[in-house]
């Protein structure tokens, strides 16, 4: 028998490579690189979130206004009519002409990224375009980080959180068991977690039932509701401190064994808190989270050490999620759903079952058809096809690619198309045999002549696959990927591999048994 | 086994007018359907909400309808069985933006009391994302066609490129017509199917064109239609066999791949049939219509060969040191 040629050796290597690297995926072993199942196959949550970045701009403006007030008060600059206009501009008026120079200098030093315009004693502050862009980008990247931290601390297996495009956030969470769990995760992500400690306006709270929002505003107050009861509170609008000074939040239990959240403030926060509680003994202070009052205890004495407790009839799971949200910090801007796809684990399992059935049936059909029609030549093509399947799995495993339902369809389709190359080749060989060429010559010429056709046909299909990959999203990318890999792998298995096998088998091929080898009856010479 | 054995080439090109008529009729019907009835855009492109619910027993579809119609927002929702009697799909054109409580959650609450059920899928696509996806899809179609046009022009000749693209437009249009006719929902996977048809149909056409290209050089015949007849006949068995194997696997996908992949596999089934037909009966006649001249092509090829020879001669002379 002729020694092994380089084509067969290459094919055997490809086969070994394919089998070895697809084993981790096939056995789903712990070790080794393997294919990740897409969310449509294993179940999970896929979301594309948008972000209301205008809210981030607005709160930036708000904090700028607070800074203006703070420094003017501090430097005894007299001003009037400090206003925020449409959430994007601050206006104020100085009363003393002598203050103009000092005020301008101070504002330029303290506030970054603004344009200050002056008309007599009337001033307006606007954010520069670059500052707006920066604030928006900051809001996105902060949201990505925050959501990631929250999901990580929730203890979920491999969530994905990534910025997509300019202003979208992609969130993918595999392995969610029930709809209720999923909702809990969504609530965790959505939580603004904006914590504020606010003073109760004890002088006016008696009149709260008749007070309008606008009236409260005129006193510098806000009206907020209790989280559990319809009770309302009148609170000073500028908080004593907020969640940015928080260092840790943990779930604990109070003396009634009810879950509470204990949080710790940083040095500055602890000092402000201590000063405030010392100054306002006998008055109430409200713990406000996302604009709901959780509790408003009376201050009995100065509280040092910066330890604060939130109680609010929590369920344990609720307290747990809330602590995570507080630890990860507040979202600078709220997020909303642009696209959501969630698949339950049982549906994922059904999808796998159905597509596996289709894949195996299609595969068996093609394999039998090839043997029936081409005899041994069909078997050779089938061996190449098996090699092709393993190669697809191996390459996808090595890249840690994601297999989706359309991806499975792509593999099924590849099975149909990969044998195409062998059909073309076999037809050519048959033709040449009919013309009376010797077997060896027929095989060599057959491969040569079939090659351009196969190449051109595959390249054009590849063009469609690449475009689909570049333009597709999620599952569709998976389809394009498996089809692309399948086409490339088939060039190796179906052309090089089968050619090598023929060359290797050539001495054994009996020219009197062409029916067995190539499925044809040779006319003429009998 | 051998099914296709032709001693003489089939007389196909003489019949090309007849096939042209068939194709034209199909095209007109398809375009008419697309323009009058229009696509039934699914969730991916139109936006909206889809909730798939699985019941332990036969789904109480009327109860479900009653339960959800209590909320005004869901009045226009449609409730249909999905694949089998235990599975239903609720669709609305509306979508919700809120993250912590979405339409899926509220439907779950509304359905309480209709039986033992499990919500297995909730898809929400905002209108903005839908239109973005539609734009991208169209872009993908155009780009692939452009890429293919360039590649085929480069590998063959511009008339071949035009003919193959016209054949594939023919296939995609008819497949779209079938999608409209059978009211298949157009989603991302339908788009994937159409793009696959694009690649597949071309694949078939290229194999035939490759043979014609070869035939021009080997068959001693000045008449293009005769060359085409012979080349098509030679590739007929391959074209049919490959279409058959592909048809088989797509059929198994259609029958056993589950409800969710039905739209995709149906579109492909149509595409495989039309693609096979067009590569045999449509692409080559267009090549003739475009006035492809065998003698010109041979002349050019001969000139090219001559130039190559000259060059080689020069090189040989150069290497021999004569120049």
pLDDT at A525: 41
pLDDT digits (tens, 9 = 90+) for A182-208: 888 888 888 888 888 888 888 888 888
Contact assignment for A346 to B120 by CB distance below 8 Å: yes
Q: Residue A344 is nearest to which of B121, B129, B196, comparing CB atoms?
A: B121
Instruction: Calculate how close chain B gets to A34, using CA atoms only, in Å.
Output: 24
If you average pLDDT over every residue of chain B, what do you get?
A: 85
Q: Residue B258 is nearest to which of A191, A350, A520, comparing CB atoms?
A: A350
What does the pLDDT average to over B224-238? Answer: 87
Domain spanning A191-316: CATH 3.30.1360.200: yes
Measured CA to CA, the distance from residue A284 to residue B92 in angstroms comes to: 49
Name the residue among A309, A283, A315 with its Cα closest to residue A295. A309
Q: pTM for this structure?
A: 0.76
pLDDT at A236: 82
* Helix (H), strand (E) at residue A126: strand A122-127
Per-residue buried b or exposed e for B13-41, using 16+ beta carbons within 10 Å of the residue's own CB: beebeebeeebeebeeebeebbeeeebbb
- Of the listed ranges A519-523, B121-125, B139-143, the least confidently predicted one is A519-523
Q: Which of B47, B206, B243, B265 should one mutate to test binding to chain A, selecting the residue with the greatest count of A CBs within 10 A?
A: B206
Please indicate whether residue B104 or residue A200 has the higher confidence score (pLDDT). A200
Contact assignment for B100 to A187 by CB distance below 8 Å: yes
Q: Which residue of B has its CA nearest to A405?
A: B261
Pairing label, strands A36-37, A402-403: parallel
Contact assignment for A342 to B257 by CB distance below 8 Å: no
Q: Which residue of A has its CA nearest to B122?
A: A342
Contact assignment for B99 to A186 by CB distance below 8 Å: yes
Q: Residue A94 pairs with which residues in a beta bridge?
A: A79
Provide the residue ranges of all domains of chain B, joining segments of one domain with +: 13-40+130-292, 48-125
B192 is written with which tokens?
């994937």
Contacting residues of B for A376, CB less than 8 Å apart: none
Q: Residue A460 is nearest to which of B137, B206, B241, comparing CB atoms?
A: B206
pLDDT at B177: 94
Superfamily name and number for A6-40+344-518: Multidrug efflux transporter AcrB transmembrane domain (1.20.1640.10)
Contact assignment for A337 to B265 by CB distance below 8 Å: no
Q: Which residue of A has its CA nearest to B194?
A: A464
pLDDT digits (tens, 9 = 90+) for A410-420: 887 787 778 88
A467 is written with which tokens?
């475009």
Q: Which residue of A has its CA nearest to B135?
A: A471
Contacting residues of A for B258, CB less than 8 Å apart: 350-351, 354-355, 358
- From the number of C-beta atoms within 10 Å of its C-beta (0-12, 13-18, 19+), residue A524 rates as exposed
Using the predicted structure, report yes or no on whether residue B25 has a pLDDT greater than 90. yes
What does the pLDDT average to over B143-168? Answer: 87
Measured CA to CA, the distance from residue A3 to residue A499 in angstroms comes to: 15
Contacting residues of B for A421, CB less than 8 Å apart: none
CB A471 within 8 A of CB B136: yes
The structure tokens 């009966």 sit at B281
Instruction: Calculate how close chain A gets to B57, using CA atoms only, in Å.
Output: 16
Contact assignment for B1 to A347 by CB distance below 8 Å: no
A251 is written with which tokens?
């779930």
Which one is the CATH code of B48-125: 3.10.129.10, 3.30.70.3400, 3.30.70.3270, 2.40.50.140?
3.30.70.3400
Using the predicted structure, report yes or no on whether residue B174 has a pLDDT greater than 90. yes
Contact assignment for B122 to A341 by CB distance below 8 Å: yes
Q: Which of A420, A435, A494 should one mutate to test binding to chain B, selecting the residue with the greatest count of B CBs within 10 A?
A: A420
pLDDT at A390: 92
pLDDT digits (tens, 9 = 90+) for B308-320: 888 888 888 887 8
Contacting residues of B for A48, CB less than 8 Å apart: 129
Any long-range contacts for A450-454 (C-beta under 8 Å, 24+ apart)? A450/A421, A450/A424, A450/A425, A451/A495, A452/B210, A453/A424, A453/B206, A453/B207, A453/B210, A453/B211, A454/A420, A454/A421, A454/A424, A454/A425, A454/A491, A454/A494, A454/A495
Max Cα–Cα distance, chain B, nearest Å: 99
Contact assignment for A430 to B256 by CB distance below 8 Å: no
Using the predicted structure, report yes or no on whether residue B89 has a pLDDT greater than 60. yes
Q: Looking at the domain that runs over B13-40+130-292, which CATH code has it been given?
A: 1.20.1640.10
Q: Which residue of A has its CA nearest to B151?
A: A460
Pairing label, strands A335-343, B117-125: antiparallel
**How big is the A-B interface in CB pairs under 8 Å?**
246
Contact assignment for A449 to B214 by CB distance below 8 Å: yes
Read off φ and ψ for residue A403, nearest 5 degrees.
-100, 120
Mean pLDDT split into 10-residue runs, chain A, 526 residues: 77 90 81 82 88 84 76 79 76 83 82 82 86 88 88 80 87 84 86 84 85 82 86 83 79 85 83 84 86 84 81 80 81 86 86 84 89 91 92 90 83 79 89 86 90 86 85 75 89 88 84 79 49
ipTM score for this prediction: 0.81
Contact assignment for B260 to A457 by CB distance below 8 Å: no
Q: Which of B150, B241, B263, B267 should one mutate to test binding to chain A, selecting the residue with the greatest count of A CBs within 10 A?
A: B241
| DSSP string of A286-297, one letter each residue | EEEETTEEEE-P
Contacting residues of B for A462, CB less than 8 Å apart: 199
Q: Which of B42, B248, B253 should one mutate to test binding to chain A, selecting the residue with the greatest count of A CBs within 10 A?
A: B253
Count the helix, strand and coil residues of chain B and give each as a percent rounded to the nearest 5. 70, 10, 20
Contacting residues of B for A452, CB less than 8 Å apart: 210
Measured CA to CA, the distance from residue A125 to residue A84 in angstroms comes to: 10
pLDDT at B323: 65
| DSSP string of B218-283, one letter each residue | HS--S-HHHHHHHHHHHHHHHHHHHHHHHHHHHHHHHHHS-GGGHHHHHHHHHHHHHHHHHHHHTH
């Amino acid at each position: 028998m002729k020694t092994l040629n380089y084509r067969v050796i290459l094919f055997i290597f490809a086969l070994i490579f394919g089998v070895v690297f697809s084993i981790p995926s096939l056995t789903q072993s712990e070790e080794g690189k393997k294919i990740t199942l897409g969310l449509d196959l294993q179940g999970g949550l896929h979301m594309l979130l948008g972000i209301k970045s205008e809210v981030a701009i607005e709160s930036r403006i708000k904090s700028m206004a607070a800074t203006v007030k703070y420094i003017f008060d501090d430097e005894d600059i007299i001003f009037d009519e400090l206003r925020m206009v449409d959430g994007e501009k601050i206006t104020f008026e100085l009363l003393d002409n002598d203050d103009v120079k000092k005020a301008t200098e101070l504002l330029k030093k303290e506030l970054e990224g603004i344009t200050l315009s002056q008309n007599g004693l009337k001033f307006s502050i606007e954010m520069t375009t670059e500052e707006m862009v920066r604030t928006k980008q900051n809001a996105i990247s902060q949201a990505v980080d925050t959501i990631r931290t929250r999901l990580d601390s929730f203890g979920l297996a491999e969530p994905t959180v990534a910025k997509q495009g300019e202003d979208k956030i992609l969130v993918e969470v595999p392995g969610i068991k029930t709809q209720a769990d999923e909702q809990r995760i969504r609530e965790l992500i959505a939580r603004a977690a904006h914590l504020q400690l606010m003073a109760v306006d004890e002088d006016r709270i008696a009149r709260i039932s008749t007070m309008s929002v606008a009236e409260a505003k005129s006193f510098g107050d806000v009206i907020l509701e209790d989280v559990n009861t319809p009770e309302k509170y009148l609170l000073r609008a500028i908080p004593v401190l907020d969640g940015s000074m928080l260092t840790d939040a943990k779930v604990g239990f109070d003396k009634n064994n009810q879950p509470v959240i204990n949080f710790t403030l940083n040095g500055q926060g602890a000092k402000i808190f201590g000063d405030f509680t010392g100054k306002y003994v006998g008055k109430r202070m409200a713990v406000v989270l996302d604009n709901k009052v959780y509790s408003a205890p009376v201050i009995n004495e100065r509280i040092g050490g910066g330890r604060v407790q939130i109680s609010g009839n929590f369920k344990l799971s609720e307290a747990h999620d809330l602590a995570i949200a507080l630890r990860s910090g507040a979202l600078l801007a709220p997020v909303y759903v642009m696209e959501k796809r969630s698949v339950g684990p049982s549906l994922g399992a059904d999808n796998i079952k159905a597509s596996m059935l289709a894949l195996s049936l299609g595969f068996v059909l093609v394999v039998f058809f090839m043997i029936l029609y081409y005899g041994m030549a069909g078997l050779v093509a089938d061996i190449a096809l098996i090699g092709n399947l393993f190669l697809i799995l191996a390459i996808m495993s090595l890249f840690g690619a994601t297999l989706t339902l359309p991806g499975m369809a792509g593999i099924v389709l590849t099975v149909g198309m990969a044998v195409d190359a062998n059909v073309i080749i076999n037809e050519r060989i048959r033709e040449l045999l009919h013309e009376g060429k010797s077997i060896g010559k027929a095989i060599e010429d057959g491969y040569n002549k079939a090659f351009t056709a196969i190449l051109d046909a595959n390249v054009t299909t590849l063009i469609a696959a690449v475009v689909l990959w570049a333009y597709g999203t999620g599952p569709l990318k998976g389809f394009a990927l498996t089809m692309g890999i399948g086409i490339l792998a088939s060039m190796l298995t179906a052309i090089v591999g089968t050619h090598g096998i023929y060359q290797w088998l050539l001495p054994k091929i009996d020219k009197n048994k062409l029916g067995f080898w190539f499925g044809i009856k040779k006319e003429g010479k009998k | 086994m051998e099914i296709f054995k032709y001693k003489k080439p089939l007389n196909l090109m003489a019949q090309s007018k007849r096939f042209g008529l068939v194709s034209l009729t199909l095209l007109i019907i398809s375009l008419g359907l697309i323009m009058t009835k229009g696509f039934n855009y699914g969730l991916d492109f139109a936006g909206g909400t889809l909730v798939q619910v699985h019941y332990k027993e036969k789904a109480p579809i009327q109860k479900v309808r009653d339960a959800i119609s209590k909320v005004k927002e869901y009045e226009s929702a449609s409730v249909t069985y999905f694949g089998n009697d235990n599975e239903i799909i609720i669709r609305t054109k509306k979508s919700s933006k809120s993250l912590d409580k979405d339409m899926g959650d509220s439907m779950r609450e509304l359905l309480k009391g209709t039986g033992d059920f499990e919500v297995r899928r909730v898809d929400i696509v905002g209108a903005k994302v839908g239109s973005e996806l539609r734009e991208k899809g169209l872009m993908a179609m155009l780009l692939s066609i452009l890429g293919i046009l360039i590649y085929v022009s480069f590998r063959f000749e511009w008339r071949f490129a035009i003919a193959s693209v016209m054949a594939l437009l023919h296939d995609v249009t008819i497949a779209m017509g079938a999608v409209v006719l059978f009211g298949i929902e157009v989603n991302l996977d339908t788009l994937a199917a159409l793009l696959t048809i694009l690649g597949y149909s071309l694949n078939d056409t290229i194999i035939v064109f490759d043979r014609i290209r070869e035939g021009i050089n080997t068959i001693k015949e000045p008449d293009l239609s005769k060359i085409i007849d012979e080349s098509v006949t030679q590739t007929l068995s391959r074209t049919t066999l490959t279409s058959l194997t592909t048809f088989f696997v797509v059929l198994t996908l259609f029958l056993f791949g589950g409800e969710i992949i039905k739209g995709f596999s149906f579109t492909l089934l149509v595409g495989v049939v039309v693609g096979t037909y067009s590569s045999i009966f449509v692409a080559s006649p267009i090549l003739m219509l475009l006035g492809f001249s065998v003698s010109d092509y041979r002349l050019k090829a001969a000139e090219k060969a001559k130039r190559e020879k000259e060059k080689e001669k020069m090189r040989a002379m150069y290497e021999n040191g004569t120049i």
